[in-house]
Structure 1
Amino acid sequence: MSCLALSLQPSDGSDILLQTREWFPPARALIALSYFRQTRLAFAASKHQQQKQNQSTSASSSATDSDDVTAAEFVGDDPLAAASGQVIVGVESKYRVVYRLVNSIYVLGVTVADHDNSINVFECIHIVNQAVSVIVTACRGVDVTREKLARKYAEVYMALDIVLRGVSNIRLAAMLGSMHGDGIAKMVHSALDTENKIRGAEHWTSVEHHSAEHQSAIDAFSNVRFELPPETIAAGDELAASLAPVVQELEQQKEEAEPENKDPFAASEAINKEEELVGGFKKTKDPSSSDLTLALAGIEVTTLPPAEATQSTTISVEGFEGQYGGIEFSNEQATLEETFETLNDAWGGGLDPSEFMGPKKIPKKEGLGGLELLHTSDPKVAEAKDGSVAGNIENLVKRPEMKGPEMHISEEIRAEFRESMLARVGLMGVVYLRTMPPKTSGDDKEAEFSFRVEGTAAVKRFVMQNSRVSSLGDGLFHVRTAPSEEPIPVLKYSLLPRLTPLPLRVRMVKRHSGTLLSMMIQYVSNPELLEPLKDVTFILKLPVDPTLLKVSPKAILNRTDKELKWQIPEIPLKGTPGRLRARMPIDSENGEEEPEIICYVKFFAQGSTSLSGVSLRPATEGKTDFYEVDHRYETGIYMCN
């Protein structure tokens, strides 16, 4: 900065005022002012001695004065003779003093003495000229005296403090106009309004509604969510309704699974087993002692159709020859699952024997309306020794003990394929913070720590919750928030489309020949994933309700929504592309119009790393301010048409 200090020094007497910058010590400014005073007096004494021309009688005094004068370097032709000028003073630490004489008061500006043009001397001169305007205005004229400055000392002090830090001519004029009127408050707080008025800018009250719209747009972007498809919500409701028996069945299937590796796309062999089809439900030919008869006791069973109506239907269509015919009641070897496989979701779900009886009968206990059975996914809870309702409820709501604040990343990947080409892709991630649960005593301690976000090369935009998070720059963020029961979203980000990783690539091909429509879906996993995708669901939207349908591998048909659903247990990282095929005859009443077919993909994954590569690290190495738990990512609208 060019000017380091401003001072008012009378021609006779002590200094009136000194203003310095924060980093410039006042002691050094006083040294420069003292040198300037000595230089000024020595120069005046030397001129007086030259006028008398009596060098012999004042040799000792001239020697002393010459020593003081040698501590100064004159700048200009006739320093200190005119009303303004510059002088470089000092012996070891040299300072440049820019001065102006107003009546009997010197206005001094102190800066460092440089010889390499690193200091803008003209800016320092400009600041001294502004200080002259301040004292002239305070004294109401050029008759500047110590007494007049004392009356307006506070206004002069604040005005010179503002001038020293830099002020425009517009604001200086406003300050000078308010020095004898509105006072110090108007002088200090008139910066923005004055600049806007002089430049003709709009006042804040006229642009306030624009700021409100801008803030509402920011809030809308911060709270944006992707809409869930209706079928996802319906599937969740059905899963919640059948949670207890399904989870128990899955636990038994995991225990009985063979350790050897099998083709993940092969059909399950469980339907061909005659014994222990579903947890001890054994098929028998004796209807009097059949468990199925006991299970279906009291249920009205409709009359079966005649044998001719239940025979397999033989169809002869070009490219679609074969036998298609669902239930063959005359086949005594048909298993229970094959018998009821057409009673799918369109009819409210088939008959699951595990709903009526299982391998072990659970004794009915008095409790809160069966609430004790909600947590039957844990076999230890189901076989508790005491069987108390309170113990089951505690296990139901019990969470792993937290050691400190936990953070994880939740990402949502969206993509749209048109046949095999990627049309659009997007990924949005949210960084969640889970604090220690709040205490009931009222002495909750706020969670406060810093963390670093790495792997942001592909990030397009970051949005943070300003009320809880502040950015420290260079990927560092500081969190301060009160305890909360629910996870708190602190950061949101989106990736550039060209740098967004695709966990799964999908291709759909259809062939319409005559009245036969053939569809094939090919999918392959990204080999760069750390873990293979599991429990992937493919949903194919059919154009019409099919009368005859052939699929490979087996799928679930929902006639209400005209959907065909495949559930793939696992997709290998480096394997051959999987294929899902379906064929059905359709009427060609619409002429040449091609039927619209859409395939939706849903999957969910969880692991130690995020899909985008974004990671969370402590701000200081070796310090654990928070605990990083498993990150997760799922699909939004992931489709192929």
Structure 2
Amino acid sequence: MACLALALQPAKGSDILLQTREWFPPARALIALSAFRQTRLSFASGKQSDSSAAPPPSDDLDSSLGDDPLAASSGQVLVGVESKYRVVYRLVNGIYVLGITTADRDADGQANNVFECINIVNQAVSVIVAACRGVDVTPEKLHRKYPEIYMALDIVLRGVGAVRLAYILSSIHGDGIAKMVHHAIDAEGRIRGADSWAGVAEAMATERCATLEAFSSSRFELPPETLAAGDEVAAATAPVPEEQPKDQQKPAEEAPEEKDPFAASEALNKPPEEALVGGFKKSKDAAGASDPASALAGLEVTSLPPAAATKSTFIGVEGFEGDYGGIEFSKDEASLSEAFEGFDNSFGGGLDASEFLTTTKKTPKDPDAAVIQLLTSGQPKTAGPVENGKDLPLENQLVTRTEMLGPEMHISEEISAEFRESLLARVGLHGIVYLKTLPPKRQGDKETEFSFRFETSPGVKRVAMQVSRVSSLGNGMFHVRTPSAEEPIPLLKFSLQPRFTPIPLRVRLVKRHTGTLLSLMIQYASNPGLPTPLSNVTFILKLPIDPTLLTVSPKAVLSREERELRWHVPDIPLKGPAGRLRARMPVDQDAGDGSEMEVVGVVKFSGEGLSTLSGVSLKPITEGSSDFYLVHNRYASGNYLCN
């Protein structure tokens, strides 16, 4: 690696020009230039970096040193602290021509060729001397010929020969920049005696392209005699198919017609009676039609297992006595309560509602005062929905038909958490801001464009936007411009810091392994700070084995293929004692063996409302604006585990 960059630096003033290789960052070249300037200034003031503790020299000594100790016609100096560079310089009438290269070895470990860098610096000096028409080089003259100097130094930095350099120097003042760059190669070739592209090589390339085009457009036809001879050879060599009797010959199947995959079904054109009865076979025998046995002969009814199959079987082998098989739903919870004795009071305080927030008791109101207030107010009975002066029917009141009035926005959040015993091991929440535009059928080619405000909470860690559709206006304001689409479009994504992430549901998994009996319990408690109670919550317990005998409370669904037990809780109140889900089963491993059986619990829930778990919100830029409409925000569980 010979020379990495070329630069022009006046003795006084800012740098004039910097030209670098493609792989060398300009920032590093600027660091090297700044270090070279500081070295010159430190030498000029008489303060060396390695003798900073020495007393300052006298004024007579400064005057004897001169303005710049690096005022020699040429030289080289090492600059930099962490990344060292070798700067080869030449001084031309107050202008330093600098060549920057590595200090001693390049990235491949090979010794650096400093003489090649010196040669490039000398060629750069020839360029600026030719541009200024002499050695009287000044910044004003360099600025007048800046484009020509810039292009010439770019060519010199990549390496040129003496012939091409002479052509460049002669064309700086005469020909244009394009001729200087492109025609220098042809000039070098002509001087060396090589053929130019405009001569033989260009003619040969044109002839080759014309030949390829002629062969690609030509067509060949075989004579009829050749085609007839080929048919005779094919008929003689083809195998003769065996003829089948006429009785065994099957009629050729007609080629199926191509049907439109989006065409409506033919069953829509049939009357309702035929569509319902068409699946039954009609019997021509009138006597058989009245016989119910013959009418139901074609129906297959799956027979139910006997009642004994659902019961457990007693095994009397010594060491394995007990009932095996079947599923039992225990109504008497005494046996399961004994297995988890001491864990009935919300984990001994582990899942108390006060751990989520400090609740204040409300003073109950006097019911008599409420009745008196209702009587004195004299409010009439609330009327039902009315349309055109008539009461709406019941089915129209139950089913709400909504139609989009404009673009709709909502926030979808996903929370993940992992509990170990009653402690929260890790938690994370990330959300996405969605935009649902009007359907393309209604919107047409018109784009959806408006601005909105995204108000964040103190716990928001990072916000990323889709730059192809959203642009930031600053101060939490964003501008949207996007074509309409059928599906919701994600606009912003954000994440929440763990210490600010709210926990909607605390869960604890308790395991007791006594002998060959494994007892499991999941305790859960809701966060009283939620806007609405959690509903339709599913608890999944990953079992270590496929149980032969299982006792659960309350009722659960067992999947033997996936080895999991599912409880469905329709509603979890915000306040109250912790809920409990229990199961017990015999296992093959004994508790005294020391082996640990891994059991994992998974929770799945979702909800929606006007507020969000993270506390962020969407608002229009101006109050009362109807550029977009806010719909219910949604949140759901991601990886919600307990082990």
TM-score w.r.t. length of structure 1: 0.42
Q: Please give the TM-score of this superposition, normalised by the length of structure 2.
A: 0.42
